Amino acid sequence: MQNRLAHVAALLVALNVALSQGSAQRPAKPDARLERLKTELGQEIDRMHDFSAQMVDMVFSFGELGFNEVETSKYLTGILEKQGFAIERGVAGIPTAWLARWGSGRPVLAMGSDIDGIPQASQKPGVAFAAPIVAGAPGHGEGHNSGMPLNVTAAIALKKLMEREKLPGTLLLWPGVAEEQLGTKAYYVRAGLFKDVDVAMFTHVGRNMETAWGLQGSYNALLSAEFAFRGTAAHSAGAPWRGRSALDAVELMNVGWNYRREHLRTEQRSHYVIKDGGDQPNVVPTTARVWYYFRETDYPKVMELFETGKQMAQGAALMTSTTLESVKILGSAWVPHFNKPVAEAMYGNIKRVGLPTWSAEDQQLAKAVQKLLNRPERGLDTAVAALGAPIPEETRRGGGSDDIGDVSWNVPTIQLNYPSNIPDLPGHHWSDAIAMATPIAHKGVTAGAKVQAMTALDLLLTPTLVTSARDYFTEQCKQTAYTPFIGATDQPAIWLHQDIMSKYREQMRPFYFDTTKYKTYMEQLGVKYPTVSR
């Protein structure tokens, strides 16, 4: 603990030095055009509100799972192509991944956001009780339908301004494919997608307009791996002694893990699902597979958990006379570390833009959903949150993960959370989809696009901000070296969830948003906004 505190103290000193150097380089006067152009950007993005809302609704209606974002990627790249962006498809060996590029010269700004949905989260928007569009189907129960529409809006508005003002700079747009499986960003890094990037500007749906700098202590690092066992089939009643069950191995591995759980650090999170548990009871299962997420606060601790998991698997194989056939890495994530100078610039724009003006209907829906979930009925946030800063290492309690972490250790990175969802929801749940194609999501995206575009403009017109971002990043990396969880031969798990999507896609297709007939997706579904009781 002493060592760790000393390490944290050294890091903070180094970062302060880096920051003060950065401040010293800043010009006394910002670019004279900045204020006027920011005002213009805000007005332009307001004029684009219906277009942005339509994109949010369209992606919502696709409800595609990770690695299966076929319609989503086709739709978004189609819009960007029409706007003059050059599209590179299938990047990093991932069919639904792409890179859109416009402009020339520096700085190179890479705007990204996740695009995948959640299994069994199909839900009619604007309805404050369970009302699936297609029962059992996936849906946007995380809100990943909104982030790329925000970036596309910001990029189009910026492009127009950059053309007129003849501002040098390159805009890149990239989707977080399969974020829920933590499945792609380490591969993007390995494929060199960010190698010329000056600042990566990530957006993620939130409950307020927020940004933060430093190591994100409420996140965990993660490794996702699947363990496959092979046994011997036999008649489960006629000759069970001749069989060896691969499912037994999976179950014993899980039992072993759950006993070990008591003796792990409280910061860890680990969970599993059985992807193959055999075919039918009277056949001793020849194959079985279990999929684990191992989460801890940093790379070495995650690797320790993973080693323990592998020991459990080997022990389970020994106990059952089966073989552990493979251990496959399916995803990974570092804990994000966000860039202080850019976070501070972004926070200035957050204060400038503020939160959307919520209508009585918006608040009514939010409170009804909170009531449904037995949470305090506090409605939507109406005051901007403070700028997030690192928390002391010893107060970390563990949490979720996002593979934007891997990007943040390879290029100066910033994350904007924008207010498109209702506070205090469980996450990864159908109720998280309720607001995501309503005016709440639409207004949050418009406000977020302004902050994103204005921060990009800060970077375009303030070269010293780009330099400060680089200086801060250099200091960040002096303290911790990035080691990817994925090896040189690991491949993206692009087959994941094909089974679920092929089961539901044709049932979902008739519910894709038809913009030729309807102005909003709620209108198409016949939802009166808000519907708070049956």
Residues that bind Zn ion (CB under 5 A): 142
Number of H helices, E strands in the chain: 15, 12
Minimum distance, C-beta of residue 184 to Zn ion, in the bound complex (Å): 13
Minimum distance, C-beta of residue 204 to Zn ion, in the bound complex (Å): 6
Q: Which is nearer to Zn ion, 151 or 245 (CB)?
A: 151
Q: Which is nearer to Zn ion, 142 or 248 (CB)?
A: 142
DSSP 236-274: TTTSGGG-B-HHHHHHHHHHHHHHHGGGS-TT-EEEEEE
How far does Cα 332 stand from its chain's mean position?
Answer: 12
Minimum distance, C-beta of residue 121 to Zn ion, in the bound complex (Å): 12
Q: Which is nearer to Zn ion, 142 or 475 (CB)?
A: 142
Q: Which is nearer to Zn ion, 420 or 462 (CB)?
A: 420
Minimum distance, C-beta of residue 114 to Zn ion, in the bound complex (Å): 5
Q: Which is nearer to Zn ion, 64 or 142 (CB)?
A: 142
Structure tokens at 459: 């970077």
Exposed, middle or buried, 484 (CB in 10 Å: 0-12/13-18/19+)? middle
Spatial contact of 358 and 381, defined as CB atoms under 8 Å apart: no
Q: Which is nearer to Zn ion, 181 or 468 (CB)?
A: 181
Please give the Cα distance from 141 to 121 (Å, whole number). Answer: 5
Spatial contact of 492 and 406, defined as CB atoms under 8 Å apart: no
Report which residue's Cβ sits closest to Zn ion.
Answer: 142
Minimum distance, C-beta of residue 376 to Zn ion, in the bound complex (Å): 24
The CA-atom distances, in angstroms, between 313 and each of 22, 54, 262, 274, 316 are 50, 48, 18, 14, 5
Element (H, E) at 276: strand 269-276
Minimum distance, C-beta of residue 175 to Zn ion, in the bound complex (Å): 12
Q: Which is nearer to Zn ion, 96 or 245 (CB)?
A: 96
Spatial contact of 527 and 124, defined as CB atoms under 8 Å apart: yes
Q: Which is nearer to Zn ion, 114 or 198 (CB)?
A: 114
Torsion of CA 306, 312, 314, 315, to 10 degrees: 160
Length of the chain in terms of residues written: 534
Spatial contact of 232 and 286, defined as CB atoms under 8 Å apart: yes
Q: Which is nearer to Zn ion, 344 or 432 (CB)?
A: 432
Q: Which is nearer to Zn ion, 345 or 416 (CB)?
A: 416
AA letter at 470: R
Minimum distance, C-beta of residue 179 to Zn ion, in the bound complex (Å): 5
Minimum distance, C-beta of residue 527 to Zn ion, in the bound complex (Å): 24
Q: Which is nearer to Zn ion, 248 or 402 (CB)?
A: 402
Q: Which is nearer to Zn ion, 142 or 198 (CB)?
A: 142
Q: Which is nearer to Zn ion, 118 or 343 (CB)?
A: 118
CB atoms within 10 A of CB 235: 12
Buried b (16+ CB within 10 A) or exposed e, 94-129: bbbbbbbbbbeeebbbbbbbbbbbbbbbbbbbbbbe
The beta strands (E) that lie in 28-144 are given as 86-89, 98-104, 108-114
Please give the Cα distance from 124 to 139 (Å, whole number). Answer: 10
Spatial contact of 502 and 334, defined as CB atoms under 8 Å apart: no
Minimum distance, C-beta of residue 224 to Zn ion, in the bound complex (Å): 15
Please give the Cα distance from 254 to 313 (Å, whole number). Answer: 9
Minimum distance, C-beta of residue 144 to Zn ion, in the bound complex (Å): 6
Please give the Cα distance from 290 to 277 (Å, whole number). Answer: 8
Please give the Cα distance from 367 to 498 (Å, whole number). Answer: 36
Please give the Cα distance from 365 to 285 (Å, whole number). Answer: 48
Structure tokens at 264: 């792990």
Minimum distance, C-beta of residue 360 to Zn ion, in the bound complex (Å): 29
Please give the Cα distance from 143 to 207 (Å, whole number). Answer: 11
Minimum distance, C-beta of residue 420 to Zn ion, in the bound complex (Å): 12
Minimum distance, C-beta of residue 417 to Zn ion, in the bound complex (Å): 10
